[in-house]
Amino acid sequence: MTKHRTTTRAVALGGLLTLALAAPAAAGGNGATDVFTVGGGGIYTVADDGSVVLDQGQALVTDRRVREMLDATLSVVLATDDGTFPEPDACEPASATFVVEGQRDVAMTLEGTGTYCARRHPVFPTFVERRFEGRYVVTDAKRPMLRGDEGTFSVTLSGGFMAASTSSFIPEGS
């Protein structure tokens, strides 16, 4: 399979994740709504320190306040506390950083912590899906209103591809 086809499939998967997250979501019953989502993906590498890196994958940012979808690039660094992948059927604490760049002030940096798990497929036990899920804070953003925003993000690793997505929660009326 060529790199072009591979990247296209990973980006398509990321796009599907974005569409799945585009519906309004509630955060802990506090009247929060989903203000923006980021979905994207591409081919990842494993760095010497054991972190998983996606460099400049294709992404789509959906801004629900102004009802627009913007093309962007997404770079992700995912690292476990001890620098190793979890064994199948195990989880480890981990941290992730998402850096989004693109048109119309979509640039932002999201940093957070969560859990990185490796799960065997119930029908195909030799297939192991690796997934990170956690909470983030926007530590830097071109749009000042996004700084300090919190939300959830996830990364799925499968067959050399990474699909990443976020879902933000800003209280209604802010």
pLDDT tens digits, one per residue of 18-63 = 333 333 333 333 444 557 889 999 999 999 888 899 998 899 888 7
Q: Are 100 and 72 in contact (CB under 8 A)?
A: yes
Domain count of the fold of the chain: 1
- Beta strands 52-63 and 36-43, pairing class: antiparallel
Half-sphere exposure of 162 (CA within 13 A, CB side): 27
Q: Is the pLDDT higher at 64 or at 18?
A: 64
The Cα-based distances of 67 to 35, 37, 63, 108 in angstroms read 10, 12, 6, 18
Structural domain includes residue 135: yes
pLDDT tens digits, one per residue of 81-117 = 888 889 999 999 999 999 999 887 889 999 999 999 9
Structural domain includes residue 45: yes
Structural domain includes residue 27: no
User: For residue 170, is pLDDT > 80?
Assistant: no
Structural domain includes residue 46: yes
Structural domain includes residue 151: yes
Q: What are phi and psi of 170, to 5 degrees?
A: -120, 130
pLDDT tens digits, one per residue of 8-19 = 334 433 433 333
Structural domain includes residue 32: no
Structural domain includes residue 156: yes
Sorted by sequence, the CB contacts under 8 Å of residue 27 that are 6+ apart come out as 151, 169
Host domain of residue 86: 3-21+37-169
Query: What is residue 34's predicted lDDT score, i.e. its pLDDT?
Result: 53
Nearest Cα to Cα of residue 166 among 122, 131, 136, 141: 136
Which residue reads 């030799």 in tokens? 126
Structural domain includes residue 82: yes
d(CA 110, CA 138): 4
